[in-house]
Amino acid sequence: MKLNAISKSFLTTLRNALSDDIIRPADPRYLEEPRGRYVGQDGGMVALPRTVQDVARIVKLCAQAPVGIVPYGGGTGLVGGQVMPEGPMPLILSLERLNAVRDVDPLENVLVAEAGTILADIQAAAEAKDRMFALSLAAEGSCQIGGNLATNAGGVNVLRYGNTRDLCLGLEAVLPNGEIWNGLTRLRKDNTGYDLRNLLIGAEGTLGIITAAALKLAPRPASLGTALMVVPSPQAALDLLSLARTRVGDAISAFELMHRQGPEFVAETLPDIRQPFPEIPEWMVLIELGLNQDADAALSDLFELGMEQGLVEDGLVAQNTGQRTEFWSLREHIPVANKRIGSVCSHDISVPLGAVPDFIARGGEKIAELGDLRVNCFGHLGDGNLHYNVFPARGRDRSDYDPLRDDVKRVVHDLVQEYNGSFSAEHGVGRMKVPDLEKYGDPVKLAAMRAIKSALDPVGIMNPGAVLRA
Amino acid sequence: MKLNAISKSFLTTLRNALSDDIIRPADPRYLEEPRGRYVGQDGGMVALPRTVQDVARIVKLCAQAPVGIVPYGGGTGLVGGQVMPEGPMPLILSLERLNAVRDVDPLENVLVAEAGTILADIQAAAEAKDRMFALSLAAEGSCQIGGNLATNAGGVNVLRYGNTRDLCLGLEAVLPNGEIWNGLTRLRKDNTGYDLRNLLIGAEGTLGIITAAALKLAPRPASLGTALMVVPSPQAALDLLSLARTRVGDAISAFELMHRQGPEFVAETLPDIRQPFPEIPEWMVLIELGLNQDADAALSDLFELGMEQGLVEDGLVAQNTGQRTEFWSLREHIPVANKRIGSVCSHDISVPLGAVPDFIARGGEKIAELGDLRVNCFGHLGDGNLHYNVFPARGRDRSDYDPLRDDVKRVVHDLVQEYNGSFSAEHGVGRMKVPDLEKYGDPVKLAAMRAIKSALDPVGIMNPGAVLRA
Buried-state track A273-310, b at ≥16 Cβ within 10 A, e below 16: beebeeebbebbbbbbbbbbeebbebbeebbebbeeee
User: Between B196, B354, B426, which is nearest A108 by CB?
Assistant: B354
Q: State whether residue A185 sits within 8 Å of chain B by CB.
A: yes
Q: State whether residue B151 sits within 8 Å of chain A by CB.
A: yes
Please name the fold of domain A342-427: Alpha-Beta Plaits (3.30.70)
Chain A residues whose beta carbon lies within 8 Å of the beta carbon of residue B182: 442, 444
- CATH code that applies to domain B223-335: 3.30.70.2190
User: Distance, in angstroms, between A436 CA and closest chain B CA?
Assistant: 9
Residue range(s) of every CATH 3.30.70.2190 domain in chain A: 223-336
Predicted local distance difference test score (pLDDT) of residue A1 = 64
Q: State whether residue B221 sits within 8 Å of chain A by CB.
A: yes
Q: State whether residue B428 sits within 8 Å of chain A by CB.
A: yes
Closest residue in chain A to residue B152, using alpha carbons only? A191
Q: Which residues pair with B392 in a beta bridge?
A: B373
pLDDT in tens, chain A (470 residues): 699 999 999 999 999 999 889 999 999 999 999 988 899 999 999 999 999 999 999 999 999 999 999 999 999 999 999 999 999 999 999 999 999 999 999 989 999 999 999 999 999 999 999 999 999 998 999 999 999 999 999 998 999 999 999 999 999 999 999 999 999 999 999 999 999 999 999 999 999 999 999 999 998 988 999 999 999 999 999 999 999 988 888 889 999 999 999 999 999 999 999 999 999 999 999 999 998 889 999 999 999 999 999 999 999 999 999 999 999 999 999 999 999 999 999 999 999 999 999 999 999 999 999 999 999 999 999 999 999 999 999 999 999 999 999 999 999 999 999 999 999 999 999 999 999 999 999 999 999 999 999 999 999 999 999 999 98
Residue range(s) of every CATH 3.30.465.10 domain in chain B: 101-219
Residue A164: name the closest of A177, A172, A154 by CA. A154
- Top residue of B189, B433, B462, B469 to mutate, by most chain A CBs within 10 Å, is B189
Q: Mean pLDDT, to the nearest integer, of B285-292? A: 93
Q: For A206-277, where are the E strands, in sequence order?
A: 209-216, 218-219, 223-230, 252-259
Q: CB-based contacts of B365: which residues, under 8 Å, 6+ apart? A: none
Q: Are A253 and A160 in contact (CB under 8 A)?
A: yes
Closest residue in chain A to residue B440, using alpha carbons only? A192
> What span, in angstroms and rounded, lies between the C-alpha atoms of A396 and A109?
52
> What span, in angstroms and rounded, lies between the C-alpha atoms of A423 and A387?
11
A191 to B185: CB separation less than 8 angstroms, yes or no = no
> What span, in angstroms and rounded, lies between the C-alpha atoms of B265 and B343?
11
Residue range(s) of every CATH 3.30.70.2740 domain in chain B: 342-426
> What span, in angstroms and rounded, lies between the C-alpha atoms of A429 and A183?
25
A108 to B352: CB separation less than 8 angstroms, yes or no = yes
* 3-state DSSP assignment of residue A86: coil
Q: Mean pLDDT, to the nearest integer, of B314-335? A: 95
Q: Are B354 and A105 in contact (CB under 8 A)?
A: yes
Q: Supply the DSSP symbol for B403.
A: G
Closest residue in chain A to residue B180, using alpha carbons only? A444
B446 to A193: CB separation less than 8 angstroms, yes or no = yes
User: Between B166, B352, B427, which is nearest A191 by CB?
Assistant: B427
Residue type, B216: K
For domain A8-96, is the CATH number 3.40.50.300?
Answer: no
Q: State whether residue B163 sits within 8 Å of chain A by CB.
A: yes
For domain A223-336, is the CATH number 3.30.70.2190?
Answer: yes
In total, chain A counts a number of residues equal to 470
Residue A244, CB half-sphere, CA atoms under 13 Å: how many? 32
Phi, psi (degrees; rounded to nearest 5) at A465: 90, -10
User: Strand B252-259 vs strand B283-291: parallel, antiparallel, or unpaired?
Assistant: antiparallel
Q: Which residues pair with A255 in a beta bridge?
A: A287
pLDDT in tens, B18-57: 988 999 999 999 999 998 889 999 999 999 999 999 999 9
Q: Are A358 and A235 in contact (CB under 8 A)?
A: no
Q: State whether residue A53 sits within 8 Å of chain B by CB.
A: no
User: Distance, in angstroms, between A214 CA and closest chain B CA?
Assistant: 12
User: Strand A283-291 vs strand A223-230: parallel, antiparallel, or unpaired?
Assistant: antiparallel
Q: CB-based contacts of A78: which residues, under 8 Å, 6+ apart? A: A33, A34, A35, A346, A348, A427, A430
Closest residue in chain B to residue A152, using alpha carbons only? B191
> What span, in angstroms and rounded, lies between the C-alpha atoms of B299 and B189?
35
A353 to B185: CB separation less than 8 angstroms, yes or no = no
DSSP structure string for B56-81: HHHHHHHHHTTB-EEEESSS--SSST
pLDDT in tens, B153-194: 999 899 999 999 999 999 999 999 999 999 999 999 999 999
Q: State whether residue B294 sits within 8 Å of chain A by CB.
A: no
> What span, in angstroms and rounded, lies between the C-alpha atoms of A39 and A21?
24
For domain B342-426, is the CATH number 3.30.70.2740?
Answer: yes
Chain B residues whose beta carbon lies within 8 Å of the beta carbon of residue A352: 108, 110, 186-187
> What span, in angstroms and rounded, lies between the C-alpha atoms of A353 and A240?
13
User: Distance, in angstroms, between B373 CA and closest chain A CA?
Assistant: 27
Closest residue in chain B to residue A240, using alpha carbons only? B107
Chain B residues whose beta carbon lies within 8 Å of the beta carbon of residue A190: 350, 422, 424-425
> What span, in angstroms and rounded, lies between the C-alpha atoms of B259 and B334?
11
Predicted local distance difference test score (pLDDT) of residue B246 = 86
Count contacts between A and B (CB, < 8 Å). Answer: 253
Predicted local distance difference test score (pLDDT) of residue B283 = 98
Q: State whether residue B207 sits within 8 Å of chain A by CB.
A: yes
> What span, in angstroms and rounded, lies between the C-alpha atoms of A81 and A463?
8
Instruction: Report angle CA B85, B88, B93 to the nearest 5 degrees.
Output: 70
Please name the fold of domain A101-219: 3.30.465
> What span, in angstroms and rounded, lies between the C-alpha atoms of B72 and B82?
6
User: Distance, in angstroms, between B25 CA and closest chain A CA?
Assistant: 31
Q: Is B417 exposed, middle or buried (0-12, 13-18, 19+ CB in 10 A)?
A: middle
User: Distance, in angstroms, between A143 CA and closest chain B CA?
Assistant: 18
Q: State whether residue A361 sits within 8 Å of chain B by CB.
A: no
Instruction: Tell me: cis bond preceding B464? Omega within 30 of 0 counts.
Output: no
Residue range(s) of every CATH 3.30.70.2740 domain in chain A: 342-427
Q: Supply the DSSP symbol for A222.
A: S
A445 to B193: CB separation less than 8 angstroms, yes or no = yes
* 3-state DSSP assignment of residue B465: coil
